[in-house]
Amino acid sequence: MSHFAKVNLEGEVEQVIVAEQEFINTLPGNWVQTSYNTIGGVHKLGGTPLKKNYAGIGFTYDPNRDAFIPLKPYPSWILNEDTCIWESPVTCPTDGKLYNWNEQELKWEEKIKSL
């Protein structure tokens, strides 16, 4: 069994299912195979990556890049052409703390735990 994404004429993913290729061949619409284990162009189990990212509803399938691209989280974020993942214009700190992106100030702010 494999994962398949139904992609509409605008390239938007409408549905993701698990099925055999033979079943997919009987369905109307444009179905594109996707890999549950592929993130950012890397197969997390060491296999062959497929379509840059696992498809999700609302993602875009770009046939020129042969990639599923997630929704853009913020207007300032930039698409990494190698991974097809959106990245912030400022690198998130890697000090073990939790951060939230502040789009108005274009910076990462430490997430404060509430009691």
Within its chain, how far is the Cα of 87 from the centroid?
12
How many angstroms separate the Cα of 7 from the Cα of each of 37, 58, 71, 81, 100? 19, 10, 15, 21, 31
Predicted local confidence at residue 115, as pLDDT: 61
From first to last of the 115 residues of the chain, give the pLDDT tens digit.
999 999 999 999 999 999 999 999 999 999 999 999 999 999 999 999 999 999 999 999 999 999 999 999 999 999 999 999 999 999 999 999 999 999 999 999 999 876 6
Tens digit of each residue's pLDDT (9 = 90 or more) over 81-96:
999 999 999 999 999 9
Within its chain, how far is the Cα of 4 from the centroid?
14
pTM comes to: 0.88
Q: What is the DSSP letter of 55?
A: -
108 in helix, strand or coil?
strand
23 in helix, strand or coil?
helix
